[in-house]
Amino acid sequence: MNASQNRHIQYVTRFGLLISCSFLMFVLIVGLPLSGAVASELTGRQVMEKQEELHKAQSEYGEEVMLLVDTKSGSKEKRDVKRYAKDVGDDLNRALLVFLKPADIKGTALLTHENPDTDDQWLYMPAVKKMQRIAQGSKKSYFMGTDFTYEDMEPEDIDNYNYTIKKEETADHVKPPKDCYVIEAVPANKEKKKATSYSKRLIWVDKENFTTVKVEFYDRRKRLLKTQKSFEFENLTGTVYRPKKTIMDNHKKKHKTLSLVKKRTLNESIEDSVFTERFIMSGKHVE
């Protein structure tokens, strides 16, 4: 497997992914069950490569309800969102997230282009009718009041991280509970260490089907910053699973972002033009 084939996991969420995920919430991935003998020999890197290998969707579309919750005041804000994602070749992806409701943010959109080196992102604000490029130094900022940073909304290049299995543990927030690898992900090079908000992440990967069910994010001082949990996984096609529900809990801000998927389709035709400035500036992204 060459370097370009090793790219990309969760958007996810990142629609799922991540969701993740990313879109971490958009691209959480499933694998096939492995025998105990084979599974015990996997390294952290191999587990992540297995996720990537088994995620082969050419395109994805989703509609979801997003709920922003301030746990200190109890205030809530509901948003309607749609997402597009597409593999445009060489395992490089394009993604578009669009807010449809409430009215004051309708049409606001985040466009992401994955590149072999540095990814590009643009934020469209209808009030100014302008695509604003997100600078590398701004990707640590939170996106539109959610608990996801711009960094979280980018596809993950596994070559930028070192992955180590730290332990095996049961995740009991999913039903039925899942036996998981707990994998530590730390930046693998100086560039990523400088660019990222996180000193490390701990990733809970289901040993049976290789979905990511939980992620802990640690700040640059190695303190737990936030936790993402995914629930209600469904098998969409072949080996591909996605969560119907994702919660990002920001412990520092005492704030949560919940996403509930209403509709999701895989491998249906999406024109390349969807992932362009012209498409967004024309207003077609809200149709």
Quote the DSSP letter at residue 217: E
Contact 135, 145 (CB under 8 A): no
Whole-model pTM: value is: 0.86
Range 4-286: architecture per CATH: Clam (2.50)
DSSP count for the chain of H helices, then E strands:
4, 13
User: Which strand (E) or helix (H) includes residue 101?
Assistant: strand 93-101
Whole-number pLDDT of residue 19: 38
What are the φ/ψ torsions at residue 145 (nearest 5 degrees)? 75, 5
- State the residue for tokens 């596994």: 158
Give the 3-state secondary structure of residue 239.
coil
Q: What is the pLDDT of residue 40?
A: 54
- Segment-wise mean pLDDT, segments of 10 residues, the chain, 287 residues: 42 38 36 41 94 84 98 95 95 95 98 93 96 95 97 93 97 96 97 94 95 97 98 93 96 97 96 97 96
Question: In the chain, what are the domain boundaries?
Answer: 4-286
Q: 3-state SS of 114-170? A: CCCCCCEEEEEECCCCEEEECCHHHCCCECCCCCCECHHHCCCEHHHEEEEEEEEEE
